């Protein structure tokens, strides 16, 4: 892992709420259409819920209809790590991780808006904290 922040699973488990720990440290997925940021239309920045690294801007958020917050790009690709994920039913997907702390954020797919690069970063709300502008 390229992560700079080194903590044990026990340390993370003490610090994080159980759902956040499950999704970000055990590579879980929150239930579709339940995440607190799915319908957030406010302007601001989405940061990692584990370490505070800036990940996504509201400027790149769009309604994908999939049930999870979706973004066309990361605020800085140096802040994320992409890696192949074959863990679920032999499917091949691309996992999105916070490069600083290694938190599982979600997955990226090639079915995003064509005029914005064609990517859909499908991200779990509980892996994020929203910081509004102003």
> pLDDT tens digits for 71-122?
999 999 999 999 988 766 667 789 999 999 999 999 999 999 999 999 999 9
Residue 36 maps to a domain: no
Q: Is residue 37 part of a domain?
A: no
Which pLDDT band holds residue 1 (cuts at 50, 70, 90)? very low
| Phi, psi of 70, rounded to the nearest 5 degrees | -130, 140
Does some domain include residue 2?
no
Residue 70, in any domain of the structure: yes
Pull the structure tokens for residue 69. 């917050």
| Catalytic, out of 48, 98, 101, 122 | 122
**126 included as an active-site residue:** no
The residues pairing with 84 across neighbouring beta strands, listed in sequence order, are: 94
pTM score, two decimals? Answer: 0.92
**Structural domains in the chain (count):** 1
Domain that holds residue 26: 9-30+42-132
> By the 8 A CB rule, do 21 and 12 touch?
yes
What CATH number does the domain containing 77 carry?
2.170.150.20
Task: Say how far residue 41 (Cα) sits from the centre of its chain.
Answer: 17
| 125 part of a folded domain | yes
């Amino acid at each position: 892992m390229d992560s700079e922040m080194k903590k044990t699973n026990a340390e993370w488990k003490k610090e994080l709420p159980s759902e956040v720990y499950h999704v970000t440290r055990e590579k879980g997925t929150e239930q579709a259409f339940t995440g607190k940021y799915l319908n957030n239309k406010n302007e601001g920045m989405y940061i990692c819920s584990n370490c505070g690294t800036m990940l996504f801007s509201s400027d790149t958020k769009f309604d994908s209809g999939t049930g999870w917050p979706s973004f066309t790009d990361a605020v800085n690709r140096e802040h994320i790590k992409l890696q192949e994920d074959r863990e679920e039913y032999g499917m091949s997907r691309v996992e999105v991780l916070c490069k600083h702390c290694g938190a599982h954020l979600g997955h990226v797919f090639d079915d995003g808006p064509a005029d914005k690069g064609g990517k859909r970063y499908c991200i779990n709300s509980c892996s994020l904290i929203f910081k509004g502008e102003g």
